[in-house]
A and B are shown apart, each in its own frame.
Chain A
Amino acid sequence: MLDSATSLSVLRSRQGVATGVGYWALQFAGWGLYFWAQASGEVIFADVSWSKAATLWGGLCVSGFALTHLLRWIIKRGRWLSLPPRALLIRMLIAVALLASTLDVITIALSLAEYNTPVAPILGAFYRRLPPDGQRINQFVSSLIVTLIWVGLYLGFAVQRHRYDAQVHQAELAQLLHAAELRLLKAQLNPHFLFNALNGVRALIADEPARAQDAVTQLARTLRYTLGSNDDELVSLVRELEMVNDYLALEGLRLAERLTVVRDIAPEATKARVPVMLIQTLIENAIKHGIAELKEGGTLRIEAHVVNAELTIQIINPRPINAPVPSAQGTGLKNSSERIRLLFGSRASLHLDLSRLGEATAEVRIPA
């Protein structure tokens, strides 16, 4: 889980760098091209010297470059992209008007300085049939068009990136939520079991120190397995069954002759991967709601087989005949079943069968 979350954020920061580079490239290319087209056009069509044309359009493009960059800074700083469309439109219209006017004033100023005329020669050449006022209006319109193209391109890219980031963020959140859900659903060792086991060990220490030592070892292994289960989702069946054996040995301490266990594990099933602590949870249920509720106890059967690339695990236990249809049993079972769904989707199932009198069968099917 951690890995995929990290790789997602790496992806995200790379994406951020890429759009930063993209912006600068587009910014240089755009203004450079505009400079080249206008300056060379002016030399060709208005028959002016390159140095004058280059000074005029160079000055304008450097100003444009700086001013649009300033606008980008303002947009980012003010988080305009997160604004509702209406607010964004109003701000953009004001920005476009100011930017176009400023560019127009700069064009007029530079043109006056270079050529002593308010209209740049290239525009004068293009619109020579228009009266001077018309030429000046068209000069403003060309600044406006340049501004609009810049704003259009910028918004187009930025909005797309904004949306993309939101999607990545969404995916990341979903991933984290998924991981958190699985963590929550994962069974914890029941504290009741833990303290009862400790009480049993305390009773054994004086009379049967060897059994007490075994019990401490089994308890340590059980605890270690449970604590380690935070790291892995799936373990081999044989590993889970090792833990279950320790767990059953400890339950045997307290239930004594009331608990008998019969195992039928097909050799090909042992390699199969199962959700960690899943079988333990089912066994715990079988004891808590079944065997521990019976004065005379009973036999717990654990079976595992692989048929057609599907692992079937069955936990069969006796239960009190007059026991109510379980509702308390619900949460543990519901969590396990939800966990299986998150891990395997519809390819796996968990089913509790109480149809036979005085018996419960929990059945898990997962792809082997």
Chain B
Amino acid sequence: MKALIVDDEPLARRELRRLLAAHPSIEIAGEAGDIDEAHERIESLAPEVVFLDIQMPGGTGFDLLSQLDWLPRIIFTTAYDRYAVKAFDVNALDYLLKPIEPERLAAALDKLQATPLTARRAAHKDSPLEQLFVRDGPRCWFVPLRDVSVFSAEGNYVRMQWGQERPLLGRSLAALESKLDTQRFFRANRQQIINLEFIRSVDLGVGGRLHVQLNDGREIQISRRQARQFRERTTV
């Protein structure tokens, strides 16, 4: 499994390299010392797992993740970061506290092997987004996009309806739309994109509009312009 080590401290990278030497299943494809470098290496090396430090010059590990469209599997490494550890608890992600214990590392790698990759790296340039790392205030989530019912434009950003959570995503609705799975998501109007699998019922409205009711009871209007496409897509 190809791995990338991201840490601004050379000694910390050296230490992790040594610890990983005991695990032949992990092939260290490269290292990065800051988030720009890491972004570039993730694009070019296509690692399957990234060991990611949180505090780095020029931006944190979280900043890196929220820039990525395609997420490799992430194992955080941190020396002492109460804030970060709290974020992980919400997410049930794996993280390693430095100095890293070899047994703890082995357990994290076992867990890694057991969970299948959600997206195939080979097709990643064109394949639609499967999940996103979202950071809203002090909380962080890996959000599987198939579980999001509605994306609503909020200024230049996007508010996602994901179960009970409504995190804000730092991208525009247009930018997001171009990367979403068109089989699953549909632009209902200028403001909203809906998840077709969340639709409970569709009613005819005035002037060729459609009223869509979602599983969570929410009502969305499909504009006249989009209604025809919607009919074609769903053969209502």
Within 8 A of A (CB), among B44-76: 55, 57-58
Report how many residues on chain B are interfacial, defined by Cβ distance under 8 Å.
Answer: 20
Q: Is the interface of A mostly helix, strand, loop or mixed?
A: helix
Residue in chain B with minimal CB distance to A191: B80
Within 8 A of B (CB), among A134-185: none
Which one, B10, B18, B58, B98, contacts A195 given CB within 8 A? B98
Residue in chain B with minimal CB distance to A194: B80
0/1 per residue, A254-274, Cβ < 8 Å to B?
Answer: 111000000000000000000
Taking the complex as formed, is A91 at the interface, i.e. its CB lies under 8 A from any CB of chain B?
no
Taking the complex as formed, is A234 at the interface, i.e. its CB lies under 8 A from any CB of chain B?
no
Asked whether, in the complex, the Cβ of A253 is within 8 Å of the Cβ of B99, the reply is: no
Taking the complex as formed, is B31 at the interface, i.e. its CB lies under 8 A from any CB of chain A?
no
Q: A195-B99, A199-B15, A202-B15 are in contact. Are A293 and B58 (CB under 8 A)?
A: yes
Report how many residues on chain A are interfacial, defined by Cβ distance under 8 Å.
Answer: 22
Give, as a whole number of angstroms, the nearest-CB distance from A293 to chain B.
5
Give, as a whole number of angstroms, the nearest-CB distance from A190 to chain B.
8
A-binding residues in B (CB < 8 A): 8-12, 14-15, 18, 33-34, 55, 57-58, 79-81, 97-100
Bound: A60/B81 CA distance, A: 80
Listed A/B pairs (28) with beta-carbon separation below 8 Å: A191-B79, A192-B79, A192-B81, A194-B80, A195-B79, A195-B97, A198-B99, A199-B11, A199-B12, A199-B15, A199-B79, A199-B100, A200-B9, A200-B11, A200-B12, A202-B15, A202-B99, A203-B12, A203-B14, A203-B15, A203-B18, A254-B11, A254-B12, A256-B10, A292-B8, A293-B57, A295-B34, A320-B58
Query: What's the count of A-B pairs with C-beta under 8 Å?
Result: 60
New A-B pairs, 17, CB < 8 Å, besides A200-B11, A292-B55: A195-B80, A196-B9, A196-B79, A198-B99, A199-B9, A200-B12, A202-B99, A203-B14, A203-B18, A206-B18, A207-B14, A254-B11, A256-B9, A293-B57, A293-B58, A295-B34, A320-B58
Max chain B Cβ within 10 angstroms of own Cβ: one of A194, A200, A253, A255: A200
